[in-house]
Amino acid sequence: MAELVLKDLVIKYGKVTALNRLNLTIKDGELVTLLGPSGCGKTTTLRSVSGFLPVQEGDIFLNGKRITDIAPENRGIGLVFQNYALWPHMTVFKNLAFGLELRKLPAEEIKKRVAAVLASVKMDEYADRFPRQLSGGQQQRIALARAIILEPDILLLDEPLSNLDALLREQMRFEIAAIHNRLGITTMYVTHDQTEAMVISNRIVVMRNGKVMQEGKPEDIYMRPRNKFVAGFMGTTCFLEGIVERFDGERCILKTNDGFELYGIGTELQIGHKAYAAVRPEYILLGKRAEASYGSSERNCFKAIVDRSNFTGELLDYQLKLGSNFIRAKEYEAKTIYGIGQTVDVKIDEERLPIVHDTDPEAVAV
């Protein structure tokens, strides 16, 4: 069992509060991603767990043991850095063997374990290379191997894929997820890339200003964001501002500033208060497709004017003018291409239209 618990962590850099009473639990074997823009405190959190950043208030527990004041080398952590941090003066073998040698394991055992871990990251043939002879992706695999070879209680990854190109990044996401599934190491993963977080995580923690804004399964965070910040951070979101008019069963009805009535999903809202509809481009039906679904209900059906359209190959990406606001719409397998200035029917999927309030009251910086 390796459970990580952060309790009321406070870290300040001078007058700036980087972590503001942060509470977080990562269960045994779970892969949790800390997601947020730069300066949100995600890297600070990771560095406090690794032991390189002293904690000013609060505590860190690993397996129920308080590790807040323990030196980094005695915490049983595995670390993967954005810049790989392989030691350039050592071969791949030496890089991997370093930790084992410090533990004074017999040479035979070291050889066996290095070979095994190299196989697990599919780098068997590279033991005698120097890091500079490897590509970025290969270096990151070795860095990952070095972090797991000692079978740490917890694996910490700090934006490990940010330096890789897009294609490789996508491939490495799946590999990291696969290695995590196979080894079941409790893992904290830090990134600012929401897609990466969606693909890789058991659970996502969205952070801002040193506070947790929302935590939950990737699909929950995406489908049911708690506030405008989370909704805006996940996916391509356009906001329509309005006032919460009423509730109808599970639906929340928002009256926008242009007078449209929008049906959506939303909790933690009060009638008469300001709120925002988070319109996602992939949940909008256009033209005939919108008409075809009129039968079921005419709710959330509007007329919009095409302001811009981009054909990206796999899809058509529109910017539409709805009242005085702009929204984006993405259409796959488009049969009709609408021209600029044309009026089109739109229907926004009400089950996938989160209505959120502006700021999480809890998250207001103290």
Partner 1 sequence: MKRILKKSAELALLVTVFLIVIGPMVSLFLWSVAQKWYWPHPLPQAITFDYWAQALGLKTSLAIGAVSIVSAFTLSILIALATVVIAMAIAIPAGYALAKYKIPFGTIILFLFLLPNAFPQQPVFVNILQVFTKIGLSGTIPGVMLIHILVGLVYGVWITNATFRSIPPSMEEAARSVGATAFKAFYKISLPLAAPGLFSSAVFVFLTSLDEFTGTFFIGLPFINTLPLTLYSSSGYNMQFASVIALILLVPSVIFMLLIQKVLKAEYVGGMG
Q: Report the candidate in 347, 329, 324, 345 with the shortest Cα–Cα distance to residue 242.
A: 324
Q: How far is the CB of 79 from partner 1 (least distance, A)?
A: 4
Q: Interface residues for partner 1 in 48-67 (CB under 8 A)?
A: 50-52
Among 77, 172, 278, 279, binds partner 1 (CB under 8 A): 77
Distances from the Cα of 189 to the Cα of 46, 78, 200, 283, 288, angstroms: 8, 12, 9, 29, 43
Among 70, 85, 105, 315, binds partner 1 (CB under 8 A): 85
Q: How far is the CB of 131 from partner 1 (least distance, A)?
A: 6
72 binds partner 1 (CB under 8 A): yes
Provide the 3-class DSSP secondary structure of residue 88.
Answer: coil
| 78/281 with CB nearer partner 1 | 78
Contact 9, 48 (CB under 8 A): yes
Q: How far is the CB of 249 from partner 1 (least distance, A)?
A: 52
SS3 of the chain: helix, strand, coil, percent, to 5: 30, 35, 35
| 94/289 with CB nearer partner 1 | 94
Among 9, 34, 46, 78, binds partner 1 (CB under 8 A): 78
Contact 350, 253 (CB under 8 A): no
Stretch of 46-54, 188-196, 238-246, 318-326 contacting partner 1, by CB under 8 A: 46-54
| 46/212 with CB nearer partner 1 | 46
Q: Interface residues for partner 1 in 102-161 (CB under 8 A)?
A: 102-103, 130-132, 143, 146-147, 149-150
182 binds partner 1 (CB under 8 A): no
Distances from the Cα of 210 to the Cα of 52, 175, 236, 260, angstroms: 18, 30, 24, 36
| 99/210 with CB nearer partner 1 | 99
Q: How far is the CB of 82 from partner 1 (least distance, A)?
A: 8
Q: Hey, what amino acid is at 85?
A: A
Written as one string, the DSSP assignment of 279-298 is E-GGGEEEHHHHHHTTTT--
163 binds partner 1 (CB under 8 A): no
